[in-house]
């Protein structure tokens, strides 16, 4: 086991933080504990992190982690793994286990100090959405900024259907947050910030026409009209390559406006 000093934003106060976004990490009191990539620890936490409240039955865990082993041997291996995690991380949780078994189901011990970046991300977006509905735009944008900081990449675990669906749900939610941030920044005249969010959105999903349009508008507002025209060409080429599709009328209209009357953009 080796230690690393790097840590993601908003993780310093966590006793144990399980990071499943971007890359798999376990942080103990803010310091990442680097384990063998792709090992059983990563597989177990990957399974439990996408089922934080319901957990998984012992039989499911055994079948997923040791599909070719005899049941008694697999059970012994699971017991050893859970004990090893307790020995490694338990001191940060006042002696409590990071993984516990309740009613025959294994769960990450979120009640006693284990945090999961996926849950932190969802919580930040939820707070932003509530703040927005209550008219607190500043609070909403601050929460969305926190969510963006937490989302360091797509869910790393994607070996079964549940994980694949969860990865796509999280990714769609992240892209929606980026779009809302860009819209707000453009509305208040923070064109550079809006452009950064639009380009970050396109880095994750190059086919988002709304993000291409936002980038075009921002380029015009910051005095880069030629780049706005190039952005349209990028959008057109990406859609043709990926889907054999053409741009939407709204994108075509914006291109014409940038070309002939940029002062109206």
pLDDT at position 112 is: 93
pLDDT at position 264 is: 96
pLDDT at position 9 is: 41
Lowest mean pLDDT among 6-15, 120-129, 236-245: 6-15
Mean pLDDT, to the nearest integer, of 86-105? Answer: 93
Mean pLDDT, to the nearest integer, of 179-206? Answer: 97
Helix, strand, or coil (residue 52): coil
Model-level pTM? 0.86
Spatial distance between the Cα atoms of 131 and 122, rounded to a whole number of angstroms = 14
Segment 86-89 long-range contacts (CB within 8 Å, at least 24 positions apart): 88/1, 88/28, 88/33, 89/16, 89/26, 89/28, 89/33
Mean pLDDT, to the nearest integer, of 195-203? Answer: 97
Spatial distance between the Cα atoms of 106 and 103, rounded to a whole number of angstroms = 8
CATH number of 158-264, picked from 3.30.70.3040, 1.25.40.10, 1.20.1050.10, 3.40.50.720: 1.25.40.10
Checking if the pLDDT of 5 tops 60, the result is no
Q: Mean pLDDT, the chain, as a whole number?
A: 91
Confidence class for position 1, pLDDT limits 50, 70, 90: very low
Q: CATH 1.10.10.10 spans which residues of the chain?
A: 2-116
Confirm if 124 and 146 have CB atoms less than 8 A apart. Answer: yes
CATH number of 2-116, picked from 3.20.20.70, 3.40.190.10, 1.10.1740.10, 1.10.10.10: 1.10.10.10
Q: What percent of the chain has pLDDT over 70?
A: 94
Confidence class for position 13, pLDDT limits 50, 70, 90: low
Checking if the pLDDT of 126 tops 90, the result is yes
List pLDDT tens digits, range 232-244: 999 999 999 999 9
Lowest mean pLDDT among 9-13, 71-75, 195-199, 214-218: 9-13
Residue 170 tokens, joined: 């999280």
* 137-138-139-142 Cα dihedral, nearest 10 degrees: 120
Burial class (CB in 10 A: 0-12, 13-18, 19+), 142: middle
List pLDDT tens digits, range 127-176: 999 999 999 999 999 999 999 999 999 999 767 788 889 999 999 999 99
- CA proximity to 128, closest of 111, 102, 113, 146: 146
Mean pLDDT, to the nearest integer, of 216-243? Answer: 98
Spatial distance between the Cα atoms of 30 and 7, rounded to a whole number of angstroms = 7
pLDDT at position 157 is: 75
Q: CATH 1.25.40.10 spans which residues of the chain?
A: 158-264
């Amino acid at each position: 086991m080796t230690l690393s000093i790097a840590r993601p934003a908003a993780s310093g106060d966590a006793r144990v933080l399980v990071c499943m976004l971007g890359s798999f990490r376990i942080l103990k009191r803010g310091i990442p504990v680097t384990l063998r990539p792709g090992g059983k620890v990563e597989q177990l936490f990957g399974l439990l992190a996408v089922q934080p409240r319901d957990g998984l039955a012992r039989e499911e865990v055994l079948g997923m982690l040791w599909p070719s082993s005899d049941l008694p041997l697999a059970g012994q291996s699971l017991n050893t793994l859970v004990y090893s995690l307790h020995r490694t991380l338990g001191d940060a949780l006042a002696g409590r286990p990071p993984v516990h078994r309740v009613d025959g189901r294994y769960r990450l011990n979120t009640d006693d100090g284990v945090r999961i970046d996926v849950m932190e991300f969802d919580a930040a977006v939820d707070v932003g959405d509530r703040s927005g509905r209550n008219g607190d735009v500043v609070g909403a944008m601050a929460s969305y900024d926190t969510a963006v900081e937490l989302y360091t990449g797509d869910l790393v675990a994607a070996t079964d259907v549940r994980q694949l669906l969860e990865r796509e749900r999280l990714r769609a939610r992240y892209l929606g947050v980026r779009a809302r941030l860009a819209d707000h920044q453009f509305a208040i005249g923070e064109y550079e910030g809006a452009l950064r969010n639009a380009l970050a959105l396109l880095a994750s999903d190059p086919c988002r026409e709304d993000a291409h349009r936002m980038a075009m508008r921002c380029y015009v507002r910051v005095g880069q009209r030629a780049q706005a025209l190039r952005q349209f060409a990028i959008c057109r080429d990406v859609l043709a390559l990926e889907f054999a599709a053409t741009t939407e009328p709204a994108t075509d209209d914006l291109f014409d406006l940038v070309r002939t009357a940029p002062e109206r953009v």
